[in-house]
Amino acid sequence: MRLAGVDITEKEVERIISEAKAGTISDKNLQKILSKKQLSVWQYLQVVDEAAPGEIAKNAKVARPTVNQALDKLLRLKKVERIGLGRSTRYRKL
């Protein structure tokens, strides 16, 4: 089976799903479920305290819609939190 371009076994998929439900996905498994561009967003968030989507797009060299998609995925995986609303929205790693 392939997940985000990486070969992965059924057992690993089940473990990742159970970790996601518990909100405890490891960084190793996170790398398996994120695309390269999504991983760039995650890596950028690891080196800053917090950042706006435009700042992430510029510094991670990823298109803004891709940044928004990556942030949505990271929010669902409980790896980042949203701070504020609207134009002043920022994100930080949990």
pLDDT tens-place values along the chain, 94 residues long:
555 566 667 777 677 667 666 666 677 777 777 888 999 999 999 999 999 999 999 999 999 999 999 999 898 888 899 999 999 999 999 8
Residues of the chain with CATH 1.10.10.10: 36-94
The CATH classification number of 36-94 equals: 1.10.10.10
Torsion of CA 60, 64, 65, 68, to 10 degrees: 70
pTM above 0.85, yes or no: no
List all residues 6 or more positions away from 93 whose beta carbon is below 8 Å from its beta carbon: 45, 46, 79, 80
